[in-house]
A = this chain, B = another copy of it.
């Protein structure tokens, strides 16, 4: 078996090396605009591919700005007016060959002097919903989730989002955390709180089956948190995390809520106190933000210049208490710790500090957003957890969760960070719907 498998792999290697791609898969030997702009290859003949972002025809010369998504900046293309085709419009897809030369124009080091312009796909500017050189309001672009990535703001957001995602994985990898794909479909209702989406066979398929029976034999839901599943794995791996979609059926049009959003969740075993959880929260925020700032400076600057000035810290829909706390403390991120016992879910660790009676829970509040992270130590003591679950009538449902405290239980804790709220926070995006490519919220599921 091992030999055979080796053979399989090496055959794949052989095949791959024969047809190995040059130039990172870019077809027709084209290079990406980011690489063209950053290259010091002035004088070289290049081919680029992308979409026309602006076009200006003068008597003696034709100017184009072309973008391929690899960076915010467009490549300026200078061409003889004879290359101007009536199909060469805003939004059209082009392939352009020419010489890269030092630019005399402000705001760019190089430009492409075109020898050939091929129109790959035309675009009728009258039908295209975005207009040349216009900055459309987010409420307008949001109506076109299939096209809004062609605007600067949405494109910058997607680049930052991708970079932040990778930075989150790198942070956990560097710190010895194992990534776990916690399930999306679950029979647990993690917090007892939060409104749930239920999953069933689609109607058309259901008719062929027994209408009364569930596909999974039991009612199942979309996950509201991977925490309990992570806790199970933390019982063998000490440090684990998950980063994936999470769901809340909240009937809210708030600028801070989505029905489908991404959450980073981490769980650490052998904790000594709530500080162990807070340390990881802080370090995650700091490391990922540093990374985004250094990898996407132009994209971040676009937000700070054009998007966030219209956004006031602590605007209307934020909970009043959170707003007060953050403002009271000087408009900086702050931790709120040790919440009243009855306000937090069953898994939060009892501080046994009667008569106040709190649990070891912590929220990280940030200006303008409110709760960014929520975490706690988890109740690791079997008897305390058991009596709390019994009181709630949940001992049967969480029998497996109790078992985790029966077999080599350890003090542990963790937290979750809303990824879209994080993006709102660092970029100053007012409405969470503009931080995710395809937002889902009540009454809206476009595409």
A-B contact pairs, 10 of them (CB 8 A): A4-B313, A9-B426, A21-B283, A24-B175, A24-B176, A25-B283, A149-B236, A166-B179, A195-B205, A215-B259
Asked if A158 meets B146 with Cβ closer than 8 Å, knowing A198-B200, A272-B28, the reply is no
Asked if A436 and B197 sit within 8 Å, CB to CB, the answer is: no
Chain B residues closer than 8 Å to A219, beta-carbon distance: 202-203
Q: A197-B215, A244-B245 are in contact. List 6 more A-B contacts (CB 8 A).
A: A69-B236, A149-B236, A181-B436, A186-B438, A198-B201, A216-B259
Q: Indicate if A187 sits at the interface (CB-CB under 8 A).
A: yes
Q: Indicate if A45 sits at the interface (CB-CB under 8 A).
A: no
A213-242 Cβ-contact flags toward B at 8 Å (1 or 0): 001111111100000110011011111000
Chain B residues closer than 8 Å to A205, beta-carbon distance: 195-196, 249
Asked if A13 and B366 sit within 8 Å, CB to CB, the answer is: no
Q: How many copies does the complex hold?
A: 2
Q: Indicate if A442 sits at the interface (CB-CB under 8 A).
A: yes
The A388-447 residues at the B interface (CB cut-off 8 A) are 400-401, 403-411, 425-426, 428, 436-438, 440, 442-447
| Alpha-carbon distance between A12 and B197 when the two chains are bound, in angstroms | 36
| Alpha-carbon distance between A285 and B175 when the two chains are bound, in angstroms | 27
Asked if B182 and A147 sit within 8 Å, CB to CB, the answer is: no
- Report the stretch among A103-111, A304-312, A345-353 that lies at the interface: A304-312
Residue of B nearest to A382 (CB): B121
Asked if B400 and A235 sit within 8 Å, CB to CB, the answer is: no
Instruction: Please give the distance in Å from A397's CB to the nearest CB on chain B.
Output: 10
Q: Chain A interface mostly helix, strand, loop or mixed?
A: mixed
| Alpha-carbon distance between A305 and B5 when the two chains are bound, in angstroms | 12
Instruction: Please give the distance in Å from A349's CB to the nearest CB on chain B.
Output: 14
Q: Indicate if A275 sits at the interface (CB-CB under 8 A).
A: yes
Chain B residues closer than 8 Å to A313, beta-carbon distance: 4
Asked if A403 and B147 sit within 8 Å, CB to CB, the answer is: yes
Q: Which 8 pairs between the two chains have the least Cβ-Cβ distance?
A: A69-B237, A121-B409, A216-B445, A196-B202, A146-B232, A93-B408, A183-B438, A16-B282
| Alpha-carbon distance between A306 and B404 when the two chains are bound, in angstroms | 27
Instruction: Please give the distance in Å from A293's CB to the nearest CB on chain B.
Output: 8
Chain B residues closer than 8 Å to A285, beta-carbon distance: 12, 16
Asked if A239 and B200 sit within 8 Å, CB to CB, the answer is: no
Q: Indicate if A165 sits at the interface (CB-CB under 8 A).
A: yes
Q: Indicate if A97 sits at the interface (CB-CB under 8 A).
A: no
Asked if B21 and A216 sit within 8 Å, CB to CB, the answer is: no
Asked if B197 and A268 sit within 8 Å, CB to CB, the answer is: no
| Alpha-carbon distance between A128 and B218 when the two chains are bound, in angstroms | 26
A230-274 Cβ-contact flags toward B at 8 Å (1 or 0): 001101111100001101010100000001101000001111100
